[in-house]
Chain A
Amino acid sequence: MSGAPPSPGGGAAAVPPVTGYAVPSLGWRILAAALLIIPLVILLIGIPVAILTYLSAHGIPPPISISVIEFAGAAIVALVAVRHILRPTAALGPLAIATSTATIVYLYLFLVDATWRIPIPGSGVSLSLGYGALVLLLMIGPALAIGAGLLTLIEDVGSPKERLPFDYPA
Chain B
Amino acid sequence: MATPYSRRPRAPGIYRAARALRRLGLISFVLIVVFVAVVAYSAVQVVRSTPHIDSSAVTMEPNGTFGITASFTLSNPGLVPIQSFGLQFRILNSSGDAIVASGTDPLTVPAGGSDIVPIALFLPLTAGESSLLVQNQYLHWDVWGNATYGYLFAVSISVDSNRSWGAPFSDLNVSVGPPALMGGTVVAPVTLSFVDQASFADDGQLTFQVVPPSGAPCASGSFALDVASGSPYSSTQDVPFTPGCNPSGGEITAQYIEGGTEIPLPPQRIP
Quick one: which of B75-96 are within 8 Å of A by CB? none
Closest CB of chain A to B182's CB: distance in Å?
Answer: 59
Q: Give A143 to B11 CA distance when docked, in angstroms.
A: 23
- Contact, CB under 8 Å: A159 / B12: yes
- Contact, CB under 8 Å: A144 / B28: yes
- Contact, CB under 8 Å: B6 / A142: no
Quick one: which of A62-113 are within 8 Å of B by CB? none
- Contact, CB under 8 Å: B154 / A129: yes
B53 close to A (CB within 8 Å) = no
Q: Give A166 to B16 CA distance when docked, in angstroms.
A: 10
Closest CB of chain B to A166's CB: distance in Å?
Answer: 5
Q: List the B side residues contacting A152 at CB < 8 Å.
A: 15, 18
Q: List the A side residues contacting B161 at CB < 8 Å.
A: 124
B50 close to A (CB within 8 Å) = no
- Contact, CB under 8 Å: B153 / A155: no
Identify which of A134, A151, A158, A166 contacts B152 (C-beta below 8 A): A134
Closest CB of chain A to B240's CB: distance in Å?
Answer: 55
Q: Give A27 to B25 CA distance when docked, in angstroms.
A: 29
B21 close to A (CB within 8 Å) = yes
- Contact, CB under 8 Å: A129 / B155: yes
- Contact, CB under 8 Å: A126 / B25: no
> A18, A141, A142, A152 — which one has the most chain B CB atoms within 10 A of its CB?
A141
> Number of contacting residues on B, CB 8 A?
33
- Contact, CB under 8 Å: B14 / A151: yes
Q: List the B side residues contacting A140 at CB < 8 Å.
A: 25, 28, 32
Q: Give A145 to B21 CA distance when docked, in angstroms.
A: 6
Given A134-B36, A144-B25, A145-B25, is A127 in contact with B153 using a C-beta cutoff of 8 Å?
no
Q: Give A143 to B21 CA distance when docked, in angstroms.
A: 9
B215 close to A (CB within 8 Å) = no
Quick one: which of B1-27 are within 8 Å of A by CB? 4-9, 11-12, 14-15, 17-19, 21-22, 24-26
Q: List the A side residues contacting B36 at CB < 8 Å.
A: 134
Closest A residue, CB atoms, query B146? A128
Q: Give A152 to B16 CA distance when docked, in angstroms.
A: 10
Closest CB of chain A to B232's CB: distance in Å?
Answer: 33
Closest CB of chain A to B68's CB: distance in Å?
Answer: 19
Q: List the B side residues contacting A128 at CB < 8 Å.
A: 154-158
- Contact, CB under 8 Å: B158 / A147: no
- Contact, CB under 8 Å: A148 / B19: yes
- Contact mask for chain A residues 121-164; partner B; CB cutoff 8 A; 1 contact, 0 none: 00011111111111001101111110111011011001100110
Q: Give A16 to B156 CA distance when docked, in angstroms.
A: 65
Identify which of A115, A148, A162 contacts B21 (C-beta below 8 A): A148
Closest CB of chain A to B250's CB: distance in Å?
Answer: 46
Closest CB of chain A to B85's CB: distance in Å?
Answer: 15
B181 close to A (CB within 8 Å) = no
- Contact, CB under 8 Å: A166 / B15: yes
B29 close to A (CB within 8 Å) = yes
> B18, B28, B36, B155 — which one has the most chain A CB atoms within 10 A of its CB?
B18
- Contact, CB under 8 Å: B24 / A144: yes
Can you name 20 extra interface pairs (CB under 8 A) apart from A133-B151, A134-B153, A151-B21?
A: A15-B4, A15-B6, A17-B7, A18-B6, A18-B9, A125-B157, A125-B159, A131-B152, A137-B28, A138-B32, A141-B25, A144-B21, A145-B21, A148-B18, A148-B25, A151-B14, A155-B12, A155-B14, A166-B11, A166-B15
A-B contact pairs, 21 of them (CB 8 A): A15-B5, A115-B154, A125-B160, A126-B158, A127-B155, A128-B154, A128-B157, A128-B158, A129-B154, A133-B154, A134-B36, A137-B32, A145-B25, A148-B18, A148-B19, A148-B25, A151-B21, A159-B12, A162-B12, A162-B15, A165-B9
